[in-house]
A and B are shown apart, each in its own frame.
Chain A
Amino acid sequence: MRTSRWIKLAAMCASIVLMFGAVASAAVRGRLEIFSWWAGDEGPALEALIDKYEKMYPGISVINSTVTGGSGVNAKAVLKTRMLGGDPPDTFQVHAGQELIGTWVVANRMEDLTWLYQQEGWNTAFPADLLNLLSTDKGIWSVPVNIHRSNVMYFIPANLAKWGVGVPNTWEEFLEIAPKLQAKGIVPLSVGENWTATHLWESVALAVLGPNKYEQLWNGRLSWKSPEAIKVWEMFGEILKYTNTDAPSLSWQQATDMVVKGQAAFNIMGDWASGYMTTTLKLKPGTGFGWAASPGTKGIFMMLSDSFGLPIGCANRENAIAWLKMLGSRDGQDTFNPLKGSISARTDSDLAKYDAYLQSAARDWRTNKIVGSLAHGVVANERFMNDFATVMDIFLASKNAQAAANAAQAVAIQAGVGK
């Protein structure tokens, strides 16, 4: 009896030792920890990338550290505690542009990737406007894996024909047809929770200011209190009069649903809505649902992008660099994006792999003027974005353009926008 117990104990110890041995040998071959907020609908696209990576580098085991939660609010919190604790993942997902630069680059936590761009020839593969948004004067900081477009207006062509309205080319045109729609009991423009209001705002701002002044807002050369910037808020207020009252209770999908169900005429959303309507709602791009650049922004591509960077002091630097190389390659981008419902950041992608909407977006990507999105972290740092939600609420509650402009200027100064 007694001896058998000792034998069991010895066996247990042996198996524990063996387990550690197995782990240790895996460590010898190398690992790669990828930190992201891609789960659910976006999970398969990330899985495809990981599969590809593991086939290319069979010795490396990939650890997929995903923290779920829309637009990464939870993931970013976890990432910040890890980085402050000195335990960076090998590479992490981050919105390209100021969201990365304003938080991690200024804190000296990222490696400059200029050498990698030169080595891989990415300086010509990606559009110059995009490189500008990704860089500071000290370097290029991340590799964009996809491109989404923010300034897209969605509608159902058959419904518009039924109601006898066309697609407005400018906001003035929209304001003309909106009362007619409202008289028929249709919401002219559907909006969802707070961030979708900011999303709508940036499209309005781009239309009212034009691309040059819009960019000046972010490099500090145009004051938020200038007459043009105040006019943005005034126009935004006019447009809000033709939106649904229950907006804060709706997710962006529900706001899109209103258009699909014929309760609303238009919706302005990023082009992930195309993926939602194509894949989830099984509508055919072009006939089942239609799209156009948001009013007054034809020929301008307001972009946002998920990207991966190289944190200083990560455990498996070489493996992370291999990951970044794969992400930036034509093949890597064309593996990920058709599944994610976004387009390749490169101008030489294989369009045959994409659906009708994405092909049209990719054509615009190659020819349009490119500007960055506010709601999705390209043009302003996180502190500004966080407090801009307050500005938005001041406006939603008071509908006072001057008050919102004053608040936005104060926030811009505090957050050091354009410094």
Chain B
Amino acid sequence: MQSRRDQLVAAVIILPSIVLLGIFVYGFIAQTMRASMTDWGQEAAMSLTPEINHVGLTNYKELFSGFLNMRFRQDLTNMLFFTLLFVGLSLLVGLLLATLIDQLVWGETFFRTVFLYPMSLSLVVTGTIWRWMLQPRGGINVLPTLAGLPAGQFLWLSSRQQSLIFDWSHIFHYTCLAALIILALMAYGHWRRGEKRRLRTKLIICAVLVGIFASGALTRIRLLDFPEEHGFNKALWGVVIAAVWQMSGYTMALYLAGLRTIPDELREAARVDGASKFQIYRYVDLPLLKPITASAIVILGHIALKIFDLIFAMAGPDHYPTSVPAITMFLKTFRGNELAVGSAIGVILLILVSLLIIPYLVNSFRTGEQ
């Protein structure tokens, strides 16, 4: 039981950080949101008393459908693909490394350090090193010549090739497809766990979405009055490789810690039941690592959404094939003097990161209370 005095002391101690957070985090978020709904960035933007008018959601509308903001839309596409590839590959490589190291009889500490080490570098350093290694005329592309093979030709960071091309004016159509895929995956999960009622609702929604998608009704809602193609830029591979190199050691450490917390009794029991080594891994270890995967996705995901320094160092500010919203935000604000548009991009990024983090926080809050 806490005494009143304890509670008072706790409140006093915590007060300064609440006040500081209130001003410097939440206050500034509010300030940015307000700025994003103005036209701050007209001629005399840098005046001590700039003329600022309230324009509502115009900046947001312009970003998603304005002719000159196609860079931002390609940025969003790049960010999506980068996040998927970076998080997916980091998890995969991390899990692989953790599993291998867990099996090691000797040298475990050594390898753990080796793989964790890249994380101690700053992203700018990683970016610079990999920029050199991915030079089209040097580094990785000349590696095959050591074995007598022809040198690689792939333009790691400067390729202008695109795949998975879609028309931005049909974005609702593709959003529908994405929702369909996610719901189908969830339905599959319900089916595996035998949750019949949930499965039924999911399947009904899926059927409706399939109908909408197949009818092509959404392609009639056109966001733009001109076709605008975006897609997965192959130049992103260079950035993904560098980012995975840096962060997979971290996921390895997470998974390794997870593997260590699995009680040996569980594995013993499986072994007694006649499970093979692989079966133990598949049916005992992997399911117990799920919470770790969840937190790793959140941590890596928000790094990926906010990535700036790595790409800035690797490809420079004006390289569209690898650009992301954070870079455009910086350039719009500090080079183009369009402070309102920069704020709007900032708010969009905040919303995207919240979409990832808030469900996780709510979930851990609930488990914490239980």
Interface residues of A (CB under 8 A from B): 73, 76-77, 80, 83-84, 86, 102-104, 106-109, 193-195, 245-249, 382-383, 385-387, 389-390, 393-394, 396-397, 407, 410-411, 414, 416
Instruction: Return the CB mask of B19-50 against A: 1 if under 8 Å, else 0.
Output: 00000000000000000000001011111101
Would B134 and A249 count as touching, CB distance under 8 A?
Answer: yes
CA A77 to CA B45, docked complex, whole Å: 14
* Whole-angstrom distance between the Cβ of B24 and the nearest chain A Cβ: 15
CA A249 to CA B131, docked complex, whole Å: 8
Residue of B nearest to A247 (CB): B158
17 A-B pairs whose Cβ atoms sit less than 8 Å apart in the complex = A73-B334, A80-B337, A83-B46, A84-B46, A194-B320, A246-B137, A249-B135, A249-B155, A249-B156, A249-B157, A249-B158, A383-B336, A385-B335, A386-B331, A387-B336, A393-B320, A414-B68
CA A389 to CA B318, docked complex, whole Å: 7
Would A397 and B160 count as touching, CB distance under 8 A?
Answer: yes
Would B46 and A407 count as touching, CB distance under 8 A?
Answer: no
Contact A249-B136, Cβ < 8 Å, known A77-B330, A109-B48, A407-B67: yes
CA A18 to CA B48, docked complex, whole Å: 37
* Whole-angstrom distance between the Cβ of B277 and the nearest chain A Cβ: 45
CA A341 to CA B241, docked complex, whole Å: 39
Residue of A nearest to B67 (CB): A410
Q: Which chain B residues border A77 with CB–CB below 8 Å?
A: 330, 333-335
Task: Give the contacts of B298-349 with A (CB-CB under 8 A).
Answer: 315-321, 330-338
CA A48 to CA B332, docked complex, whole Å: 35
Would A103 and B318 count as touching, CB distance under 8 A?
Answer: no
Contact A386-B332, Cβ < 8 Å, known A73-B317, A248-B321, A394-B70: yes
Would A382 and B337 count as touching, CB distance under 8 A?
Answer: yes
Task: Give the contacts of B144-167 with A (CB-CB under 8 A).
Answer: 155-158, 160
CA A411 to CA B332, docked complex, whole Å: 13
Would B48 and A248 count as touching, CB distance under 8 A?
Answer: no
* Whole-angstrom distance between the Cβ of B124 and the nearest chain A Cβ: 11
Would A248 and B68 count as touching, CB distance under 8 A?
Answer: no
Q: Which chain B residues border A382 with CB–CB below 8 Å?
A: 335-337
Would A103 and B46 count as touching, CB distance under 8 A?
Answer: yes
Q: Which chain B residues border A410 with CB–CB below 8 Å?
A: 67-68
Main secondary structure of the interface of B (DSSP, over half): loop
Contact A393-B44, Cβ < 8 Å, known A194-B316, A249-B134, A249-B155: no
Would A109 and B47 count as touching, CB distance under 8 A?
Answer: yes
Size of chain B's interface in residues, with CB distance under 8 A? Answer: 38
Best-buried of A83, A102, A108, A387 by chain B (most CB within 10 Å)? A387
Q: Which chain B residues border A104 with CB–CB below 8 Å?
A: 46
B112 at the interface (CB under 8 A from A): no
CA A80 to CA B332, docked complex, whole Å: 13
* Whole-angstrom distance between the Cβ of B369 and the nearest chain A Cβ: 42
Would A248 and B43 count as touching, CB distance under 8 A?
Answer: no
Would A387 and B68 count as touching, CB distance under 8 A?
Answer: yes
Would B335 and A386 count as touching, CB distance under 8 A?
Answer: yes
Would B68 and A407 count as touching, CB distance under 8 A?
Answer: yes
Interface residues of B (CB under 8 A from A): 41, 43-48, 50, 67-68, 70-71, 131, 134-137, 155-158, 160, 315-321, 330-338
Residue of A nearest to B238 (CB): A249
Q: How many A-B residue pairs have CB under 8 A?
A: 102
CA A195 to CA B319, docked complex, whole Å: 9
Would B43 and A386 count as touching, CB distance under 8 A?
Answer: no
Q: Which chain A residues border B330 with CB–CB below 8 Å?
A: 77
Q: Which chain A residues border B134 with CB–CB below 8 Å?
A: 249
Q: Which chain B residues border A83 with CB–CB below 8 Å?
A: 46
CA A193 to CA B235, docked complex, whole Å: 14
Would A107 and B71 count as touching, CB distance under 8 A?
Answer: no
Would A248 and B157 count as touching, CB distance under 8 A?
Answer: yes
Contact A245-B155, Cβ < 8 Å, known A193-B316, A394-B70, A410-B68: yes
Would B315 and A248 count as touching, CB distance under 8 A?
Answer: yes
Would B48 and A86 count as touching, CB distance under 8 A?
Answer: yes
* Whole-angstrom distance between the Cβ of A105 and the nearest chain B Cβ: 9
Q: Which chain B residues border A84 with CB–CB below 8 Å?
A: 46
Would A107 and B70 count as touching, CB distance under 8 A?
Answer: no
Contact A106-B44, Cβ < 8 Å, known A194-B319, A393-B71, A410-B67: yes
Q: Which chain B residues border A416 with CB–CB below 8 Å?
A: 43
* Whole-angstrom distance between the Cβ of B152 and the nearest chain A Cβ: 12
CA A393 to CA B337, docked complex, whole Å: 20
Best-buried of A195, A386, A387, A411 by chain B (most CB within 10 Å)? A386
Q: Which chain B residues border A194 with CB–CB below 8 Å?
A: 316, 318-320
CA A103 to CA B332, docked complex, whole Å: 13
* Whole-angstrom distance between the Cβ of B79 and the nearest chain A Cβ: 17
Q: Which chain B residues border A383 with CB–CB below 8 Å?
A: 41, 336-338
Q: Which chain A residues border B335 with CB–CB below 8 Å?
A: 73, 76-77, 382, 385-386
Would B319 and A107 count as touching, CB distance under 8 A?
Answer: no
Q: Which chain B residues border A387 with CB–CB below 8 Å?
A: 68, 336
Contact A248-B158, Cβ < 8 Å, known A76-B334, A77-B330: yes
CA A83 to CA B47, docked complex, whole Å: 9
Q: Which chain A residues border B135 with CB–CB below 8 Å?
A: 246, 249
CA A77 to CA B316, docked complex, whole Å: 16
Residue of B nearest to A407 (CB): B68
Residue of A nearest to B50 (CB): A107
CA A84 to CA B334, docked complex, whole Å: 11
CA A167 to CA B135, docked complex, whole Å: 30
Q: Which chain A residues border B46 with CB–CB below 8 Å?
A: 80, 83-84, 103-104, 107, 109
CA A102 to CA B47, docked complex, whole Å: 11
